[in-house]
């Protein structure tokens, strides 16, 4: 039964990776077809965020944004575990 769960996890990661790649493709479309600087900046952000998420999902690692937040505000599990 554990083997089935692992395969489901891989399928879920593939699905999420493909989803993020498709959203990044929308960002590329927006970047190419819109003229204002604001729309181009937003499209670049969309592309960067979703490419990072796609790579993170494919490799089963935390995305860059989560790693940055963990460096800035590390969470301490000691107070949550000692409450029992």
pLDDT string in tens for the chain (84-residue length): 445 555 668 889 999 999 999 999 999 999 999 999 999 999 999 999 999 999 999 998 888 888 888 899 887 654 555 444
**What is the full DSSP assignment across 14-57?**
HHHHHHHHHHHHHHHHHHHH--SHHHHHHHHHHHHHHHHHHHHH
Q: Residue 75's pLDDT is what? A: 74
Pick the closest to residue 66 from 82, 53, 55 (CA basis). 53
Q: Residue 66's pLDDT is what? A: 87
Q: Residue 77's pLDDT is what? A: 57
3-state secondary structure (DSSP) of residue 61: coil
Residue with tokens 């554990």: 2
């Amino acid at each position: 039964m554990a083997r089935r769960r692992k395969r489901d996890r891989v399928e879920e990661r593939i699905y999420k990776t493909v989803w993020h790649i498709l959203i990044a493709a929308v960002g590329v479309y927006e970047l190419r077809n819109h003229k204002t600087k604001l729309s181009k900046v937003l499209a670049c952000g969309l592309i960067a965020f979703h490419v990072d998420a796609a790579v993170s999902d494919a490799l089963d690692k935390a995305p860059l944004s989560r790693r940055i937040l963990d460096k800035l505000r590390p969470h301490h599990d000691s107070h949550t575990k000692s409450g029992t």
